[in-house]
Amino acid sequence: MKVKKALLIVDVQNDFCPAGALGVPEGDKIIPRINQYIKIFSKNKLPIFVTRDWHPKKTAHFKRFGGIWPPHCIQNTKGAYFHPKLKLPRKTIILSKGMDPKKDSYSACQAEDVNSMSLLDLLKIFGIKDIYIGGLATDYCVKYSAVDILKNGFKVKVLMDAIKGVNLKPEDSEDAIRGMVRMGAKKITLECLLTRRKKCP
Ligand code: VGL
Ligand code: ZN
């Protein structure tokens, strides 16, 4: 039986792209590649999930209220919108996280859709076993999401050509990738997905 797959694109929002409040260097460079993955999943009628960081104006996540971050991804502001180059099909399932003014949340497993369904609920309903994950940032939300999803018994493929890290310390992204792999994630690229070569990165 074919294992059912889904694509999960994390936080490709203006504030996480260069010029944004928490811009990931070259974060926007991965968008054309993400769009290619989206096309493939779309063609194969596989679900596409996207997360967005979606904060209230006042939250303990921001420095002013006790957290560590400058204000970013405030609900219904330009910084919180998806990058204009990201091409989301109509059927994309949008999951929001970070709405609780008292809590930090970095993992897609803490995100919910318009009906307050969590990612894990939705994966179960769709019968998905295998999650392909890309987006921003490798060393934060992508890492936390991948690890959480793995812990819940799903398989994870990391889209090596469709992630970008913050690298507060230069080795952060590499460490994050190593950590995800240690937990059981596999690394793939578009090329190795399309050519079905046995050898992925
Ligand atoms: C995130 C920084 C601040 C993330 C959220 O989800 O990666 N990073 N808020
Ligand atoms: Zn945030």
With a cut of 90, say whether residue 1 has pLDDT above it.
no
Q: Select from 22, 24, 106 the residue to mutate for testing ligand 1; criterion: most ligand atoms less than 8 Å from CB.
A: 106
DSSP character at residue 118: B
CA of 93 to the centre of ligand 2 (A): 20
**Structural domains for the chain:** 5-195 (3.40.50.850)
Whether the CB-CB separation of 160 and 189 falls below 8 Å is answered with yes
Task: Decide: residue 1, CB within 10 A, 0-12 exposed, 13-18 middle, 19+ buried.
Answer: exposed
What stretches of the chain show up as alpha helix (H) in DSSP?
Answer: 31-43, 119-126, 143-151, 172-182, 190-195
Q: Are strands 48-53 and 5-10 parallel, antiparallel or unpaired?
A: parallel
Q: Which residue has the higher pLDDT, 195 or 89?
A: 89
| Amino acid code (one letter) for 190 | L
Q: Is the CB of 141 under 6 A from ligand 1?
A: yes
Global pTM reads 0.96
pLDDT in tens, 84-142: 999 999 999 999 999 999 988 899 999 999 999 999 999 999 999 999 999 999 999 99
15 lines ligand 1 (CB under 6 A): no
Question: In this predicted model, what pLDDT tens digit does every residue of 12-66 receive, in sequence order?
Answer: 999 999 999 999 999 999 999 999 999 999 999 999 999 999 999 999 999 999 9
The pick from 141, 142, 167, 172 for probing ligand 1's pocket by mutation, whose C-beta has the most ligand atoms within 8 angstroms, reads: 141
Q: How far apart are CA 121 and CA 188, in angstroms?
A: 25
Q: What's the number of CA atoms in the CB half-sphere (13 Å) around residue 125?
A: 7
Tell me if 121 sits within 8 A of 47, measured CB to CB: no
Active site residues: 11, 97, 141
| CA-55 nearest atom, ligand 1 | 9
The span from the CA of 71 to the CA of 22, in Å, is 9
